[in-house]
A and B are shown apart, each in its own frame.
Chain A
C-alpha cells in the first residue's frame, strides 16, 4: 500500500473495481516528491496519534492503536510502533480517530470566506423580517458574507452561487488555490466539523491551516454534460458527443491495429474533446438531475457508451436505482432532499428518505452532501456543511449501513475528485488527514476535538473560540508531547480559546512526580467528562 500513489492507472482501476477504464485523471498525481525533498533538508517530520480507536474508513477498526505519519504521509498504523525522536505525539485514549471528512460541492466560503466586518446586528431588519414571513430560511447576512467572499474581478463570479440546494447546481469556476485563505474563520469551522478536504470550484483542496503550500490536489477532473427533459436538444447533443467520441475511438483502435502507416490517423475533427476524455477515463462526466426519466436516460447513455456517470441531485434515483447501479453511477445526494411526488403521474416519484440507501444497495457509489453546502450561521441549524455527519445520519435513517454512510462523506467524494489515493481513508501511504472525536462521528453530540491535516494539528476544539464552551474537554494530562523531550510541566491551565500564539514554554522541569499521579487517574476513567450527560432516556450512543 505504501507504493500506492505510484501505481499505474490500471492498478487503480482494479482497486476501484471498475469493469472498464477508470476515469481517474492522471493529473491527480501531485508533485509530492518535491515537497518531501524540501522537508528532508530539515530532517523528517514525524507525527503520531496514539491510543485512539482508529476507524480507518475501510471497515477496519483498531482499538487503542497508533497512526504514525512521516512528512504528512501515513507511515504506519498499528500497535507498539517505534516513534522516532522528535515525533510530535497526540495522545487520545478513549477517543476515536477517523479519516478527515470530504465535502463535495462546498461553496467558496470554505476556503475564502470572511466574517462581515460590521456588526451583524445592523442587518436590515426589514430583510430579516421578510425572511421570517416569506419563510426564507436564509438570513440576509448569509448573502452579505457571500458577497464579501467573492472577488468581483473574477470572470463569471458576479452572481454568488445559490446557497440553497447546491446539489445539482455548480459553484462558479474559480482558481481555488490562488483564492485560498488559510486563516478564514469558515475554514476553521469546516475543520471543526471534521472536513479536511473540500471541493472548491473544480478543485480538490486540502484544508491546511496557516499555509497555502500543497493545498491544491487536483483541478478540473470533471466535465459537465446536459441531459434535461425541458431541453430535448440537450439530450441529442450529449448523445451525439459520446457517439462521435466512441466512433472515433473505435476507428482509432482499428487504425492502430492495422499498423499501416500509409493510412492517415483518424481525424479528431468534430469529436467532442470532453466526451473523448470521459471515454478515455481521463475525466468524469457530470450530470445534474433529479428527475426519474432523466436519470434513466443518463444511466442508459452511460451503459451504452461504457462510462460511469457522476450524477448530482438524483432525488428520484430510488425509483430507478437498479439502472443507476448497473451504470456504476456515482451519485451525490442529499438524503433529506424533499419534493412531493407529482400527483399527475401514476409512476413513483418525489423524494424518499430511503434514496441514499436504495442507491447504495443497488450498487451505485453514494456521496452525501447537505442541503446547503455552505456554512450558515444565520441560526437555522442542521442543514449546512457544519452538519455533514448529521446529513449522513439521515442516510442511515433511510436504511443505509453506518459504514456506507461514513464512506459517503469520506472515500466516495474523494473518488469523484480523483484524490482517493491520498485522502478518504486511513491507510499507509495516504495523507495523514484525520480527525479525533469524542465519540461516534455520526452521533449528534460528537465534536471533533482535533483535526490533523498533512500530519499537522490544524484544529483543536479547546484552542478555538467557536465550540470550546460546549462540553469542554478537560485534558487531565497534556495530550501533546514530543518524543525525547521532557514533558511540559506547566499546570494545564485551561487553554484560552484564542487561536493566537502557541508559545511553547517547555522549559519547566519541576513536578514530574505529580504528573505521573495524574496519569494513573486518567487511565482509570478515560471518558470522564465526555459523557456527563449520559442519561437513561437518551441511552448510549
Chain B
C-alpha cells in the first residue's frame, strides 16, 4: 500500500531534477545504434551540457569536471531515446484537435498551437523510452499542415520552447485512404486528390525552381519543403498508394519524403520505394494477413519492406492508435513476424531520425548528439525489459526507482 501511494504521488508531480550539466554513466552495455552499430560492453558515457561528449570502455580518458554526477548502473543497457515520426498526441490522449476539414490543402496550418507539453501520455511515452516525436495534424485533408518535432520532457509545467527540436518540423501530407473529400468538392477520387496536391505543388515547385519563390508568406514553409530544407511525411496505404507517393513526392518534386503507414498490402510496392530510395515509416498496422491479395500466410510488413531493401525503414505508432509508449512493441511484433531484431532497433531510433533530417541530433548514442539516453534492464524489444532511467538532453526525465510509469 505504501509503495503504491508513493508511486501515485510521483505520477503527477514534476520529477525534473536539478539540471546536471555534467554526467558520467557507467552501464553494462551500450547499444550505440550509430553508423557502425557498435555495442560497447561495460561502457561509459560522458555527457556535458546536454550532449554526449565521449563513449568508451573506460572513463580514464574522460575530462570530467568537478561536481559531475555519476550514474552507476552496470546491470543496465543504454539505448538511444526512440523517435516516432507519426504522433498525434498533441494534447493528452485522444483529441479532436487534428483535422481542419474546410479546405483540402492547408499548407499554412501548424500543429504548434495545439500542443500541450508534459501531459500524462507524453510522460508515459518518455517512461517507455520514446524521447522525440514528430507531432502532426491528422490525415483528413490532403495537406493538413506542418508538425513540430519535439521531445517528450516530463515536466507538466515545462515550457514548449524547451521541448522543441524543430518547428516547423516538416509537413504532413495524406495521399490516400482518408483525405477523400466527401462533401461534394473535388478530391473524392484518387485522381481528384492528386489534382489537388499537384495544382498547388506544381506552382510552388516551379516558382522555387525559378528562384523567385511564391512571394506568399503563407506558402513559405511549403517552399522550404520544395527546397529540400524540410521533410514531408506522407500518409498512404495499399500498393498503389505507396507507388503514387513515390511518383509524386520523389520523382515529380524531389522532396525529402518519407512514406508513412504503407499499410495493408503497401509492401507490394516496397521494391519501387527502395529503387528510388524513399524511406518508409511503417505502422500502426504491422501485419498484413490475407488483405487485398490472399496468400493465407501472416506477413509482417517490416519483414517485407526490409527484404525489399527500403532505406532507413522505421516504425511508428500513429499514437494514440497504438499508445505512444508502445512504439517499441511495433519493433517487438515486427521482429516476431520475420524482421530481424537488430534492424528493428534501428527502425525505432536512428532510421526515423535520419530520414527526417534529425540524425545530427538524435537516434544514436554518439559523440556530438543529444544526450537522450534510455537505460533498459535488457533487450529493448522485449516487453519484459523495463526502462529504469530516461535522460533527455542529459537531464533525468524518468526514474523507475521513483515509481514505474510504464
- Of A350, A466, A538, which contacts B379 at CB under 8 A? A538
Shortest C-beta distance, A322 to chain B (Å), equals 6
Instruction: Tell me whether B337 and A381 are in contact (CB under 8 A).
Output: yes
Of A43-51, A120-128, A215-223, A275-283, the segment with at least 4 beta carbons within 8 Å of chain B is: A120-128
A119 to B385: give the CA distance in the assembly, Å: 40
A369 to B112: give the CA distance in the assembly, Å: 39
A354 to B180: give the CA distance in the assembly, Å: 43
A379/B379 contact (C-beta < 8 A), A120-B292, A353-B404, A445-B336 known: no
Instruction: Tell me whether A379 and B285 are in contact (CB under 8 A).
Output: yes
Among residues of B, the one whose C-beta sits closest to the C-beta of A467 is B298
Q: Give the interface SS of chain A, mostly helix, strand, loop or mixed.
A: loop
Instruction: Tell me whether B383 and A132 are in contact (CB under 8 A).
Output: no
Q: How large is the interface on B (under 10, 10 to 19, 20 to 34, 35 or more residues)?
A: 35 or more
Instruction: Tell me whether A537 and B94 are in contact (CB under 8 A).
Output: no
Instruction: Tell me whether A137 and B321 are in contact (CB under 8 A).
Output: yes
Instruction: Tell me whether B289 and A377 are in contact (CB under 8 A).
Output: yes
A321 at interface by CB-CB < 8 Å: yes
Interface residues of A in 443-480 (CB under 8 A from B): 443-445, 465-471
- Of B92, B140, B264, B323, which contacts A338 at CB under 8 A? B323
Among residues of A, the one whose C-beta sits closest to the C-beta of B332 is A444
| B231 contacts across to A, CB distance below 8 A | none
Instruction: Tell me whether A379 and B263 are in contact (CB under 8 A).
Output: yes
Given A129-B180, A397-B386, A445-B341: 19 more A-B contacts, CB < 8 Å: A129-B178, A135-B320, A318-B4, A319-B8, A321-B1, A336-B323, A340-B93, A341-B11, A378-B285, A379-B288, A382-B330, A382-B332, A442-B384, A444-B332, A445-B336, A533-B342, A535-B340, A538-B345, A539-B77
**What are 24 pairs between A and B in contact, CB < 8 Å?**
A119-B294, A129-B178, A132-B321, A133-B99, A133-B138, A137-B284, A338-B323, A343-B12, A348-B4, A353-B406, A378-B285, A379-B263, A379-B285, A381-B336, A382-B322, A382-B326, A390-B332, A396-B383, A397-B385, A397-B386, A465-B297, A468-B297, A469-B338, A537-B31
Contact with B along A466-508 (1 / 0, CB 8 A): 1111110000000000000000000000000100000000000
B120 at interface by CB-CB < 8 Å: yes
A142 to B162: give the CA distance in the assembly, Å: 43
A536 to B77: give the CA distance in the assembly, Å: 12
A349 at interface by CB-CB < 8 Å: yes
A507 to B340: give the CA distance in the assembly, Å: 41
Among residues of B, the one whose C-beta sits closest to the C-beta of A357 is B404
Q: How large is the interface on A (under 10, 10 to 19, 20 to 34, 35 or more residues)?
A: 35 or more
The 7 closest A-B CB pairs, nearest first, are A379-B285, A348-B8, A393-B383, A377-B289, A396-B384, A381-B333, A465-B296
| A322 contacts across to B, CB distance below 8 A | 1
Question: Which of B263, B298, B321 has most chain A Cβ within 10 Å?
Answer: B298
A319 to B8: give the CA distance in the assembly, Å: 9
| A466 contacts across to B, CB distance below 8 A | 296-298
B382 at interface by CB-CB < 8 Å: yes
A183 at interface by CB-CB < 8 Å: no
Shortest C-beta distance, A204 to chain B (Å), equals 27
Among residues of A, the one whose C-beta sits closest to the C-beta of B124 is A338
Contact with B along A322-333 (1 / 0, CB 8 A): 100000000000
Among residues of B, the one whose C-beta sits closest to the C-beta of A141 is B291
| A343 contacts across to B, CB distance below 8 A | 12
| A468 contacts across to B, CB distance below 8 A | 297
Instruction: Tell me whether B341 and A538 are in contact (CB under 8 A).
Output: yes
Instruction: Tell me whether B8 and A349 are in contact (CB under 8 A).
Output: yes
A445/B298 contact (C-beta < 8 A), A120-B292, A133-B140 known: no
Contact with A along B140-180 (1 / 0, CB 8 A): 10000000000000000000000000000000000001101
B253 at interface by CB-CB < 8 Å: no
Q: Give the interface SS of chain B, mostly helix, strand, loop or mixed.
A: loop
| A353 contacts across to B, CB distance below 8 A | 404-406
A15 to B12: give the CA distance in the assembly, Å: 44
| A137 contacts across to B, CB distance below 8 A | 284, 321-322
Interface residues of B in 218-242 (CB under 8 A from A): none
B82 at interface by CB-CB < 8 Å: no
A515 to B265: give the CA distance in the assembly, Å: 42
Shortest C-beta distance, A379 to chain B (Å), equals 3
| B378 contacts across to A, CB distance below 8 A | 539
A393/B382 contact (C-beta < 8 A), A377-B290, A538-B341 known: yes
Instruction: Tell me whether B120 and A535 are in contact (CB under 8 A).
Output: no
A454 to B182: give the CA distance in the assembly, Å: 55
Instruction: Tell me whether A121 and B293 are in contact (CB under 8 A).
Output: yes
Instruction: Tell me whether A469 and B345 are in contact (CB under 8 A).
Output: no
- Of A119, A319, A444, which contacts B4 at CB under 8 A? A319
Instruction: Tell me whether A444 and B404 are in contact (CB under 8 A).
Output: no
Shortest C-beta distance, A536 to chain B (Å), equals 5
Among residues of A, the one whose C-beta sits closest to the C-beta of B93 is A340
- Of A318, A358, A381, which contacts B287 at CB under 8 A? A381
Contact with A along B85-127 (1 / 0, CB 8 A): 0001000111000110000000000000000000010000000
Among residues of A, the one whose C-beta sits closest to the C-beta of B385 is A397
Contact with A along B20-51 (1 / 0, CB 8 A): 00000000010101000101000000000000
| B88 contacts across to A, CB distance below 8 A | 135
B329 at interface by CB-CB < 8 Å: yes
Instruction: Tell me whether B292 and A121 are in contact (CB under 8 A).
Output: yes
A214 at interface by CB-CB < 8 Å: no
A269 to B289: give the CA distance in the assembly, Å: 56
